[in-house]
Amino acid sequence: MWNIPNILTVLRLGFAVALPLVFLFVMRPYADWIALILFVVVALTDYLDGYLARAWNQTSKLGAMLDPIADKAMVLIALLALAALFGLNPYILIPATLIAFREVFVSGLREYLGADSGKLAVTKVAKWKTAAQMIAISALLASGIFEHHLGMNTFGMDQQLMADILDGRVPDELGLKSSLLGLQITYYGGLGLLWIAGLLTVYTGWDYLNKAWKFLED
């Protein structure tokens, strides 16, 4: 039962729980780096444990139970951490709420359907939704690193001097342009992908309910 795929799944659960705790006990930007690395490792093991289980013929009931739990836990806990880090930013909170609602709704629906839930195959759109979630969360975690670097290098700096550096009138010895560009790409790119993931989440939830309806008719 404790084969490598199952061990990876359990580690994924542990890393998901540890992610928000990092920000409580580690100073930033080190916390941002650790959280980003943890989440990327978790996302990679999400693919790896399933691949190894199929390739090595090591599928098990334990793995089948823990894998969807670990998937949902790492996304929902990461979104909870992001909502706290960005001060309940509505542009993050709204899609995060849609994603959380869908996961709870579908989980309850799967529990009610029991054995019939296995007849509802995962669609390509659901896989795209998962990929968008993973990339969006990784980008938003990375934005904290660029934000801290930019803030530290501009702390106490005159606003006019900062404007001159960004406009190219003064040499950019501290790499402010790179930090600002990185912040803009990761933050706005992450937000855009999170909204795409939120919309795909609503669509896949509705699609799942539509397919499950025949099992719910009395």
pLDDT band at 53 (very low <50, low <70, confident <90, very high): low
What pLDDT, on a 0 to 100 scale, did the predictor assign at position 50? Answer: 67
Of the two residues 6 and 139, the one the predictor is more confident about is: 139
Mean pLDDT of all residues in 75-103? 90
pLDDT for the residue numbered 94 = 93
Domain ranges of the chain: 1-85, 109-211
Average pLDDT over the chain reads 83
Distance between CA 133 and CA 193 in Å, rounded? 7
Distance, CA of 67 to CA of 48 (rounded, Å):
11
**pLDDT tier, 15 (very low <50, low <70, confident <90, very high otherwise):** confident
CATH architecture classification, 1-85: Up-down Bundle (1.20)
CA 130, 135, 139 angle in degrees (round to 5)? Answer: 150
pLDDT score for 200: 92
pLDDT exceeding 70 applies to what percent of the chain?
89
DSSP state of 175: -
Answer whether residue 149 shows pLDDT above 80. yes
The reported pLDDT for the residue numbered 118 is 63
Residue with tokens 């509802």: 120
* Predicted pLDDT at 138: 93
- The fraction of the chain above a pLDDT of 90, given in percent, is 20
pLDDT confidence bin for 121, thresholds 50/70/90: low
Asked whether residue 120 carries a pLDDT value surpassing 70, the answer given is: no
User: What is the spatial distance between Cα 43 and Cα 45, in angstroms, rounded to a whole number?
Assistant: 6
Can you list the alpha helix ranges (DSSP code H) found in the chain?
4-25, 30-55, 61-85, 90-113, 124-154, 159-167, 176-216
- At 175-207, the pLDDT tens digits run 788 888 898 999 999 999 999 999 999 898 888
Q: Does residue 154 register a pLDDT over 70?
A: yes
